[in-house]
Structures are given as structure tokens and as C-alpha cells.
Structure 1
Amino acid sequence: MKGYINKETIKKGLELSLVVSILALGGLILFTIDKHTIGKVLSINIYYLILAVVITLLMWTVGGLRIKLVTDAVGESISLLEAVKIFLLGAFVSNVTPFASGGGPAQIFLLHKRDRISVGKSTTIIVVQFALRLLFFGVTTPILFLFFKEFINPGFIPTQIFNIAVLVAAGITLIMIYFIWQPKQVKSVVDKLRDIPLLKPLLKYQRVRSLIEKFYQEVEEFHDSLWQLTKYKKYSLIWAALCTLIYWGLFFTIAPIILLGLGAKPFFLRSFIVQTIFYFILPYIPTPGGSGVAELGFASLFSSFVPSGLVGLLSIVWRFLTFYLVLGLGGIILLKILAKSAVGSRG
């Protein structure tokens, strides 16, 4: 991965992500712990925690299966195990880069370099997944706001700030869906940028012009692959969309299962609703992996229906399963890839 995602960048992002996350969780424990919290910890039902771990593993498998399905649809082939590794690597890099921006490029690079899939097809594979996620949240979030508004309470987050965050996320989502569906419009935007006087001096360099031409070629290949996929591989897309539904369904089940383990009501419907809103906004948070905001935002949304003494504890267990486990396994996968790359370069 050398030359594509800098090791130092990943290291700094990981350190910042961990520090901010731990500080946020520490603050939650400090302000939410009460005399009942220790009792809940001692009486926790371990079987529900095991179930939550199993659901997490199933979730990763479904994430990998979706990559494999889309890869098969573009005429390439990878094993399910390789697809799960790519999924975890992308999740790891997303969690240590601002706006979760590094995950997709890392997955594209891995598909291209390790699995010998063209950049255009690799981009299609990852962008299709990204588009399915956008569509899932783009469709479900407005429905939940329209029909389940009474279940949405931002907790200690000011309502005005919460509503602005949702509107900004909705606007960005619509723009991204448009450019994914009409990728040639990206070329039009780049062409307009080339006319800006401040940018014109850059075009004097052959390297810059070559990169622009290469970008245009990849956009064309991506557009062709996406068109072929939507026209001739509809069933593959349907299965991939189903995997997206299953993935997020499993993901949103983790918090209620933890609540059951803590001896509290699971609030399955309400948990699903608030997490959908939460993850609609979270990708647009600038901290690595949404650290800090993720813990505090999750606790704020759940504080409206979960006992205050359990909110901090719930956030810790939830964050461990959905964030720290991914960091651990994804980091191991990344280290192995870097080690193999180092051996290969010496050879």
C-alpha cells in the first residue's frame, strides 16, 4: 500500500481516533455512572454479549459477500475470505481517516493490486456498494422522519443543530447519488475547474495533464461498467442490495442485544430508527471514523429512552463491537499486507 496510503497518515489517524474515542467514552462514564451501574456490570448476561459478537461476525461476512457479489457481476472473481478481508481493511482505514474518506480508495487499491482487477472495475465494485448505502439511508431516513418523528429525540444535542446536520447530510447525499448515476457530469465539473485562472498554470505540467486524461479514461470505464451492471446484471444488484439491508439490519440489532444483556428493554424499533438517523449523519463528521461525535451522538440519541446509568456502559460495549474490533482485525490485515509488500519489494 506504499505510495497510496501513507503509513504515517494511518498511524496519526489511528492515534487521534483512539485518543478522541477513549476521552469521549471516559467522559460518558464519568457523567452517567451511578450506584446501579456497577450492579448492572456484575449481573450482565454473558450469553447476550456472545450473541452480539456472533451478529458482528455475521455482519462482516455479509459485508464481504456484497463485495464478492458485485465483483462477480463485473466479470471478475474473488473468494469470500478475500472479500471479507477487503471489507475489514476498508472499515479500518475509514475509521482512521477524516470523513471516513480512506476506506473506499484502500479497497480499490487492494482489488487492483492484489486481485488484478482493473482500476475502472475496482472503482465500480466499491462505488456500487457506496451507492447502495446512500440509497438505503437516502430512502429510509425521510420515511422515518415522516412517520416516526415521535421516536426521534436528539437528547442533549440542541434540536436546531441536529436538524441542520440532517439537512446537510441529505443535501450531500443527493449530490453524491447524482454524480454516481451520472458520472460523466464529474468530467463536466472538472472541465469547468480547468477554466479557473488560478488553476490554469498547473495545466502546463505534463504530469498534471496526464493525470487528468487518466482520470477521464477511468470515468469512462466506470460509466461503461456501471451501465453494463444495471442493464445485464440486475439480479446481482438485487442480491447486493439485499445484502445491504441485511448488513444494516444486523448492525442495528447489536445495541438492543447489548441492552438485553444489561437487563434493560431492547427498544428494537426505536433503536433502529435513531441509529438510521445517526449513521445517515456520521459519515460527514470530519474526525477520523467520527470519533468523539460517534460516542457522544450515540449516547445522546439513546439517552432519551435508556436509563442514564446505562447509557455510558451501553456506549462502551457498542463501540467495542462496532469500532475497536474492526480496528484490531483490520489493523492486523493491513500489517500483513504491508509485510508481504515489503518482502515482495526486497525480492
Structure 2
Amino acid sequence: MNEGIDKATIKKGLKLSLIVSILALVLLFAFTINEDTINKIKKLNHFYLLLAIVVNILMWVVGGLRIKLIANALEEEISLKFAVQTFLVGAFVSNVTPFASGGGPFQVLLLHRKGISLGKSSTVIIVQFVLRLLFFSFLSPLFFFLFSDLINPGIIPSSIFNSLIIISLVISAIIVYFIWQPDKIKVIAKSLKKLNFLKVLMKSERANSLLDKLYKEMEEFHDSLWELTKYKKTSLIWAAFFTVVFWVLFFIIAPIILLGLGAKPFFVQAFVTQTIFYLILPYIPTPGGSGVAEFGFATLFSSFVPAGLIGLLAILWRFLTFYLVIIIGGIILFKMIAKSLVRL
């Protein structure tokens, strides 16, 4: 894509994401603030706030370690520093693109610029993506049935909430199937080529060349994935382990903030609620899930967190899990641009 278009897309997405998110948080705070809120702000325990920041940074390191581990399993050597940078830049781009769709491709680009083939770069990022899908696809229905009494959709009608969970699980299953069986994409592509309105397009030499290149990269990706699953099972197990560690760290941030506010942490409720929430959130069309993330988080947590703390909790949680990534990931990205390590 054109360099200017990519920069414009990121800037537009960043602006939209921040505006929607800030507006949502302001409204939440305005509607939930009371005397208890002011007292909690005055008595905020900075130790727990610092601990939440440390946990957040540790989560970034684990995210980078997982990328490095998978790359090393494919016999590609990258430093932990670069892997963490790749994770943060990917998180930044995800937070400013609809459906969080830009992060993965951008991480593939960064790895490719490091000299790793597109097929292997894609494998690294797709494997961690699949592990995320499997984590939520397994735990979400399990928690939904075992801890249904802890899940309260709040103002969201139960029928809509349950439908969102089912739709998210179905989409996740379809994605995993096509990743595991990429040859099926070829079958679909060949079927689409037979459609009249695509026949003219596919007569183009450039279009056929791009399609051939895509098939080649898909085959390399499939070979790399097969190598991982057949010969590098230990590496995959470690990658799965770090996926669990990553999300455990992520999910304890909100309870730690609650401790800092002098409230009960509700560790189990928070873990169960966020597991269901993050199964659905990636399929929200707004950049980074902005708006829905804030209101959805507040709605689900309102069933066990005091009303006067919901807005304050959402602000602190969103700052650590969203704004901090925007700031640090954005700085790293634009430093890379300045050094011409990537071309937008």
C-alpha cells in the first residue's frame, strides 16, 4: 500500500480510537461518581497501582517471549528486545484498526524486515493467534457452564449476550479450521475464480502472479506449521504455557486495581468475566474495541463491584491495558519509522 495511505489510516484510527474511548470513560465516570468515589481516590494505595504497572510490563515481556520462542522453533533467531518491540507495535496497531485487524499483519511485516521469510513470519504470528483462540474457545464455554452464577451481562439482554458468545465461538472455530487446513482456501479461491465478475480480473497477469505468490507463501506457512506440530511439540507446549501466563497476568490487573482502591479483588469473578468478555471483544468493529471495551467492562463488572468504583476502575484499567500500549507502542513504531526500519 501507499506509504501516505498507511500513515493516514493509522492516524485516523488512532484519533477515532482515542476520541471514542475517552468519551466513553468520561461518561462512565460522570454517571458513577459519588462520595465513595472521591474518598477512594484520596485513599488510593499507590503500591497496588505500581504493582499493576509492573504486572502490565511483565505481560509485555511474556508476549515478546512467546514470539521469540516460536521464531526460534522455526530456526530463526531474534532478540527478546526486538520480540517485545514487535509485540508492542502489533498491540498499538491493533488498537487503532477495526476488529484489531492491523496488528498481526504489521508484526509479520516487522519479522519479514528482519530477514525472516513471509511464510515463517506468518507462522509465528498465526500460531500465537491460534493459541489465543484456543485459550478462549476452551475456557469460555467451560466457565459459562461451570460459573454461570458469576456471569451477569448487566444491562445487556441475556439472549443477546448468549448469542454473542455462540457467534464468537463459531467464528473462532472457522478461523482455526482454515488456518489448520489452508488448502481449503485454495479450493474456495478456485471456485471464486469461476464467477463471471472475477473472470475478467483473473485474466490479468499481475493478478495471477500475486495469486501464485500467495499460494507459495501459504505452502511455506503450512510446511512451517506442520514442522512445529510434528517436530517441535515442546516449543508449542511452551508457547501455549506462555499464552496462559500472558492472559492470567492480564486478567489480574483489574483485581489489583480494586485492591488499590480498598475494595475486594474478586479474582475468580474477574477472571471468569474477562474470559467471556475477551472472547467477544476482537469481533467488535471499532478500533481497539473502543467504546464497547469501556462500557462492556463496566457492565460486566458492575454485578460485583460497588457502583461508585466502576467508572474509576474502568479509567485505571483502560489506562494500563490500552493507553499505556498506545503510548509505548506508538513511540517504538515512530522511532522505527524515523530509522527507516519499516515503511508504512
TM-score between the two structures when normalised by the length of structure 2: 0.98
- Equivalent in the alignment of 1:67: 67
Shift of 1:159: 1.6
Structure 2 equivalent of residue 324 of structure 1? 323
Secondary structure of the equivalent of 1:263?
A: coil
* Native 8 Å contact 1:152 1:274 kept in 2: yes
User: Structure 1 residue 5: deviation in Å?
Assistant: 7.3
Q: Does 1:225 align with 2:224?
A: yes
Inter-CA distance 151–5: structure 2 relative to 1 (3 Å threshold): farther
Deviations 1:251-272 (A, max 9, x none): 0000000000001100000000
The equivalent of 1:80 in structure 2 is 80
CA gap 1:140/1:64 in 2 versus in 1, 3 angstroms: same
Q: Unpaired runs of 5+ in structure 1?
A: none
C-alpha offsets along residues 221-248 of structure 1, whole Å, 9 cap, x if unaligned?
A: 0000000110110000011000000000
Tell whether 2:169 aligns with 1:173.
no
Which amino acid counterpart does residue 272 of structure 2 have in structure 1? I
User: In the alignment, is the contact (CA less than 8 A) between 1:256 and 1:271 conserved in 2?
Assistant: yes
SS of the counterpart of 1:69? Answer: helix
Describe how 1:165-244 pairs up with structure 2 within 5 A: 165-244=164-243
Query: Which residue of structure 2 lines up, in the alignment, with residue 310 of structure 1?
Result: 309
Shift of 1:131: 0.5
- How much has 1:2 moved relative to structure 2? 6.4
Task: Tell me how far apart the structure 2 counterparts of residues 150 and 195 of structure 1 sit (CA, whole Å).
Answer: 51
**Aligned 8 A contact 1:5 1:106 in 2:** no
Q: RMSD of the alignment, in Å?
A: 1.4
The equivalent residue for 1:15 is 15
Which amino acid counterpart does residue 78 of structure 1 have in structure 2? I
TM-score with structure 1 length normalisation?
Answer: 0.97
Provide, for residues 278-320 of structure 1, a one-character-per-residue CA deviation record: whole Å limited to 9, x for no partner.
Answer: 0000000000000000000000000000001000000000000
Stretch of structure 1 that moved more, 130-139 or 204-213: 204-213
Distance 1:29 1:169 in 2: 29
Which whole-Å deviations, capped at 9, do the CAs of 1:52-92 have from their partners, x for residues lacking one? 00000100000000000000001100000000000000000
In the other structure, the counterpart of 2:287 is 288
Distance in structure 2 (CA, Å) of the matches to 1:209 and 1:76: 30
Q: What are structure 2's unaligned runs of at least 5 residues? A: none
Structure 2 residue aligned with 1:260? 259
Structure 1 runs (4+) deviating above 2 angstroms are 1-5
The equivalent residue for 2:39 is 39
**2 CA distance for matches of 1:278 and 1:178?**
23
Between the two proteins, the alignment pairs up a number of residues equal to 343
- Cα distance in structure 2, aligned partners of 1:3 and 1:112: 17
CA distance in 2, matches of 1:316, 1:139: 29
1:88–1:329 CA contact under 8 A, matched in 2: yes
Paired letter, 1:321: L
Task: Report the alpha carbon displacement of residue 3 of structure 1 after superposing the two structures with TM.
Answer: 4.2
Q: Distance in 2 between matches of 1:59 and 1:4?
A: 33
Which letter maps to 1:180?
Answer: I
Distance 2:324 2:32 in 1: 24
Separation in 2, partners of 1:5, 1:139 = 38
- The one-letter amino acid paired with 1:15 is K
How big is the shift at 1:341?
Answer: 1.4
Q: Percent identity?
A: 62
**Following the alignment from structure 1 to structure 2, what is the Cα–Cα distance between the partners of residues 3 and 126?**
23
Equivalent position amino acid for 1:213 in 2: D
Aligned-partner residue type, residue 212 of structure 1: L
The aligned residue for residue 163 of structure 1 is: 162
Aligned partners of 2:40, 2:62: CA distance in 1, in Å? 32
Q: 1:249, CA displacement in angstroms?
A: 0.3
